[in-house]
């Protein structure tokens, strides 16, 4: 933990796990979707379901989906703002066997019609972990700048992508590969130490075998 995990974060109360963490889950889901969400169906599990309402977890998740950060004073009014901005939403309780006590399952639809299912947990102190992207089990915190590269499971794609990062001196902190089945759809989740310029992401996206690239900016103190 760095000293700003101890003194900080600056956040809207009342709970770092149930409020600040929930905002971050909503925010990262919006980033992963890659467009403005217009519909969200959210399942709350465990302690999110039990005490979430009193902690504003529902308002916090919606605030994040609207692009707010944990210190945004508009969080308590997020439901009204969602109405104004054309985001319809619903909540329900779910059971997720084996999941972290503070977990949400978000089914979202973007303004471009694309849909995404994200399962994420709030780990405490405002830190989060994305556990599932559609049907793929993943691990992604969004604390560092992160690239999510959707590609075909074929030789050479990892080399191509890492070479494109190495060229401008971007250092990889962690790289994880996930695939549905051999030769099928796959995802690289790459956490890096430096910001990734937009032109690299554009060039990456048009490479053969790469379907889509999502970039998440890291947390800034």
Partner 1 sequence: MAYQSLKEITRLCEEEGIPFWRAVLQDDVNERSVSEDESFAAMGKMWETMLSSSENYDPSLMSGSGLVGMDGAKMEEYRKRGDVLVGDFVGKVITQALQMGESNACMKRIVAAPTAGACGVLPAVLVPLYKENAGKGEGTKARAINRERIIEALYVAAGIGQVIAARAFIAGAQGGCQAEVGSASSMAAGALVYLKGGDNEQIVHAAAMAMKNLLGLVCDPVAGLVEVPCVKRNVIGAVNALAAADMALAGIKSRIPPDQVIDAMKEVGESMHVSLRETGEGGVANTPYARELAREIHGKG
The verdict on 76 binding partner 1 (CB under 8 A) reads yes
Query: Shortest distance, CB of residue 72 to partner 1, whole angstroms?
Result: 8
Stretch that binds partner 1, among 83-91, 112-120, 123-131, 200-208 (CB under 8 A): 123-131
Cβ neighbours for 159, distance < 8 A, ≥ 6 positions apart = none
| CA 21 – CA 220 distance, rounded (Å) | 15
Query: Shortest distance, CB of residue 221 to partner 1, whole angstroms?
Result: 5
List the x/- string, 14-53, binding to partner 1 by CB under 8 A.
xxx--xx--------------------------x--xx-x
Query: How far, in Å, are 100, 143, 150, 154, 214 from residue 69 at the CA level?
Result: 23, 13, 26, 37, 19
Indicate which single residue of 26, 37, 64, 126 sits in contact with partner 1 (rule: CB under 8 A).
Answer: 126
2 forms bridges with which residues in the sheet?
none
The verdict on 80 binding partner 1 (CB under 8 A) reads no
Q: Report 171-210 residues binding partner 1 (CB under 8 A).
A: none
5 forms bridges with which residues in the sheet?
none
Query: Shortest distance, CB of residue 122 to partner 1, whole angstroms?
Result: 12
Cis, peptide link before residue 23, omega less than 30° from 0? no
The verdict on 67 binding partner 1 (CB under 8 A) reads no
Edge-to-edge strand ranges of the sheet holding 115-124: 88-93, 37-45, 102-110, 115-124, 127-133, 136-140
Query: Shortest distance, CB of residue 25 to partner 1, whole angstroms?
Result: 16
| CA 96 – CA 205 distance, rounded (Å) | 34
Interface residues with partner 1 (CB under 8 A)?
1-16, 19-20, 47, 50-51, 53-56, 59, 71, 73, 75-76, 124-126, 221
């Amino acid at each position: 933990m760095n000293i700003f995990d101890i003194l900080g974060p600056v956040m809207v109360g009342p709970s770092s796990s149930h409020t600040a963490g929930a905002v971050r889950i909503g925010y990262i889901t919006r980033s992963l979707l890659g467009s403005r969400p217009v519909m969200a169906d959210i399942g709350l599990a465990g302690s999110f379901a039990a005490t979430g309402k009193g902690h504003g977890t529902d308002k916090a998740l919606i605030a994040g989906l609207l692009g707010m950060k944990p210190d945004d004073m508009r969080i308590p009014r997020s439901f009204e703002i969602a109405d104004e901005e054309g985001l319809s939403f619903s909540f329900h309780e779910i059971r997720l066997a084996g999941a972290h006590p503070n977990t949400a399952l978000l089914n979202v639809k973007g303004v471009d019609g694309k849909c995404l299912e994200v399962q994420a947990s709030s780990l405490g102190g405002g830190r989060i972990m994305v556990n599932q992207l559609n049907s793929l089990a993943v691990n992604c915190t969004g604390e560092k700048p992160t690239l999510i590269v959707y590609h075909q499971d074929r030789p050479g794609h990892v080399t191509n992508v890492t070479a494109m990062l190495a060229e401008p001196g971007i250092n990889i902190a962690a790289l994880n590969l996930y695939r549905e089945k051999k030769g099928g759809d796959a995802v690289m989740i790459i956490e890096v130490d430096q910001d990734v310029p937009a032109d690299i992401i554009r060039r990456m996206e048009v490479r053969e075998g790469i379907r889509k690239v999502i970039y998440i900016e890291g947390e800034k103190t």
